[in-house]
Amino acid sequence: MFLAFVLAGSAYATEDLELPPEVNRWLHGYISRHKTFDGRPLLFTDARAISLIHGDLDGDGKDDVAVLFSVDGVRGGTDWVQYVAVFLRDAKGMRYCCMERVGCKGGAAVESSAIEAGRVILRGKAFVPGVDAYCCPSQAWETALKLSKLKPVRLVIDRPSNFQLEGPRANDARAPQLEC
């Protein structure tokens, strides 16, 4: 299993990732088709593959691939958004299946990923409004993505809530948000 870490809002891989050619081509294509908030084309340097995980996601007994990647500056400045893209293995190689936005600055940051029991498991920290600095989410969370008809379905395992906060903010309406 490969772990990725997010430090002060920026994602850094713990090792250089060697992406399968199909994944690399898809990531380059995805970036080239999108623009930043001000209409500037995204550059491949704006994207970082953070982790690459292998495991069976569609029940066919073959290792599929999920790649966690980050795109910087999409909504301006030091902003970043994290996605998981899933690639299924078939007789011809790897083919793109689907993608899900899983983190962003001011929302949640994925710190580790794994494939367990046919699900992409994501663990990280969520931003707590009124408590955390914008750069630094603090509330632990865990969620999973499972494929259903080749679409990712988010299964909440441990979503932060007001009840997990302590002290005077325990009943505060400003619960941590995972949506970006």
Read off the pLDDT of residues 51-60 as tens digits, 9 standing for 90 and up.
Answer: 999 999 999 9
Sheet with strand 139-148: strands edge to edge: 47-55, 64-72, 80-90, 93-104, 108-116, 119-126, 139-148, 151-158
Range of the domain at 154: 4-169
pTM of the model: 0.77
- Which of 18-22, 47-51, 154-158, 171-175 has the highest mean predicted lDDT (pLDDT)? 18-22
Q: Which residues fall within 8 angstroms of residue 94, CB to CB, at 6 or more apart?
A: 20, 22, 23, 64, 65, 87, 88
| Residue 76 falls inside a structural domain | yes
How many domains does the chain divide into? Answer: 1
| Residue 64 falls inside a structural domain | yes
| Residue 174 falls inside a structural domain | no
Read off the pLDDT of residues 126-143 as tens digits, 9 standing for 90 and up.
Answer: 888 889 887 888 999 898
| Residue 154 falls inside a structural domain | yes
| Phi-psi map region of 53: left, alpha, beta (phi>0 left; psi -120 to 50 alpha) | beta
